[in-house]
Chains A and B, each alone.
Chain A
Amino acid sequence: NAGVTQTPKFQVLKTGQSMTLQCAQDMNHEYMSWYRQDPGMGLRLIHYSVGAGITDQGEVPNGYNVSRSTTEDFPLRLLSAAPSQTSVYFCASSPHREHLNTGELFFGEGSRLTVL
């Protein structure tokens, strides 16, 4: 069982470039989300989705775009990369809204992005 799979694990971009971080889960989870992790800032929510075709903004959505065309996939797009977007990005999922009842989100292993 693969769980939550993120690709790529590492990426270096130049300022202004665009790219997509991929996230796929094989657990048939309805809820998926993207967090960024920065030293001293903890985990901050970028965007989330409660099901296919439904997305919403989190705490720090600016500069990022998401879509949810299937239950399995939730890609995160950086439209024009900036050095401030250098971070480690985590995708997380849960069955429907179970994370609110159990406190459990299932995280991927992260994608480390450096923007020069």
Chain B
Amino acid sequence: QQQVKQSPQSLIVQKGGISIINCAYENTAFDYFPWYQQFPGKGPALLIAIRPDVSEKKEGRFTISFNKSAKQFSLHIMDSQPGDSATYFCAAPRPRGYSTLTFGKGTMLLVSP
């Protein structure tokens, strides 16, 4: 069974600040780790994903940092904007033999104006 532990549960950041959300996983036979973004009343949507053969991936203001030895990865949102206010989920594939993603419990981010 894959366990994915996400922290913090909620986060308040001022506009222009850096938002950091962390995720730890137990084990996986596949190597692709995504972050999803969910706005109220909508379904989650893929934001950014990383393979752990690279330690960092950046797309605009969003960066994933990956530490394979520690089994941890984090999402950094630079220059956070009120439009980034949403719930963020990390996910990891379940171990070999399954075809599913296990999600963290989510982080509610509020970026204050």
Contact = CB atoms under 8 A, between A and B. Distances in A.
In the A-B complex, the 9 residue pairs with the smallest Cβ-Cβ separation, listed nearest first, are A103-B34, A107-B43, A103-B49, A42-B105, A43-B103, A104-B46, A103-B32, A100-B30, A42-B106
Interface in A82-116: 90, 92, 97, 99-105, 107-110
Interface centre among B30, B93, B103 (most CB of A within 10 A): B103
Q: How large is the interface on A (under 10, 10 to 19, 20 to 34, 35 or more residues)?
A: 20 to 34
B49 A33 contact: no
Nearest to A4: B43
B43 A103 contact: no
Interface of A: 4, 31, 33, 35, 40-45, 48, 50, 58-59, 90, 92, 97, 99-105, 107-110
A103 B91 contact: yes
Interface residues of B, number: 24
Contacts, number: 64
Given A31-B99, A43-B89, 11 more contacts: A42-B105, A42-B106, A45-B100, A100-B32, A103-B32, A105-B46, A105-B101, A109-B41, A109-B43, A110-B41, A110-B43
B41 A33 contact: no
Contact of B105 (A40, A92, A100, A109): A40
A97 B30 CA distance: 11
